Structure 1
Amino acid sequence: MRKISIILLFSLFAINALQAQINLEQKTVTVTGSAPLEKTIIKYRVKATLSMDQVYYADTRVENLDQLRKQYYQELKALNIDTSKFQEKEMEYFSLGYQRDGTILYYETDSKELAMKLLKTNLLGVQLQFQVKQNVSPENNKVALNAALENTKAYAMELCKTINTDLGNIHAISSNSNYNDDWTSYYADYQEQLTVNVVYGMN
């Protein structure tokens, strides 16, 4: 009997996209499914890019980077923010291709309120970006994994019915489990999905 493959695509609950392939020669059905993976924000960071590119012609009172940094720190100290906690990444600034002097400063905190406070400055030559670091707990990972497995099993059973066969045992399973993320923009946040690939036998 020649090899026959059936590819079917559809969505369940508008968020769990499922993909499946039936292989009648090997008597298997391979299903890829996903489920929402809930993350928790564990750290906040403000990235401050200080660049003389923006102030060279616009503000003649600021003649160099040291003056710009001093002016920025003065505004922060007026907000009772400890500027000694900044981490400087000067080489990161020059790798971005700026033409004039500048630097990049990072401020990390566990407090969202403090991070938001850092964004309240409005100074020419200082560009601010709000970032977060997220974590997936083992408990949330397990919830998403079980949900994805339930979806793949239900889908595989439905496919087997279309060719008058019964779903068998799992032959193989893999997942894209991702517990920790690097820093990312809060406003570019998206719903993470845990994806599983399951190969079922057919009886």
Structure 2
Amino acid sequence: MITIATAECFTHGILAREIHALAQDYDDIFASSYWGLVNKVQKDCIKDAILEDKCSIFDLRDLSVSCGLFIPTLDAVKSVLKIENPLEPLTLIDGIKVYDDDGDREMAILMAEAAKKVSGSDIGIGTTAGIGYGGIAIVDDDIVISTSSDVYADLVNVDSDDLYMRQRSGIEKTLKILIYYLNDNLDIINQMNNVKIYNKSE
């Protein structure tokens, strides 16, 4: 069993719910809203594993969500995630942290590492987005996968449609990367738009 914890901002805790639904193999109205997307990615991985021996085949029922945290504010980053010195935001909106793209990517990594640590999970996921494409991170003991959504939005100059589309893009991209990662298919992840994989030992 692989345990996973999320610390989410612009994805509003939806990733934790979706991953949980996939792990529990819920169906019908209680199933993951992104099952079609995940099923397509799983089929890609099965094809690569069987035909080209590129990766393994991971059973999503071997996942367990330890916790899913919605962490929009800087205070919660400090008090809940126990990040003593978080990155200074560009501004705060009612306590909600706002960064640019570089800041979001750095902060997402910190949030993912913290979620993993405070929950004692095998994998941590962090998401945060202010002005730009946002930051998404998936971490384990060995690697950090850092990326962003593929949609620009601005939390300061609010446009609900843009914010929704950025959120949806972020959720879809995170789920894709997570499934490829679980299937050891890092080659495909490396080919995706705006993704970096860091080895912690380097």
TM-score range for the pair, normalised by the shorter chain length: under 0.3
TM-score by length of 2: 0.24
Higher normalized strand content (fraction of residues): 1
Q: Judging by fraction of residues, say which structure has more helix.
A: 2
More contact order relative to length (CA 8 Å, sep ≥ 6): 1
Structure-1-length-normalised TM-score: 0.24
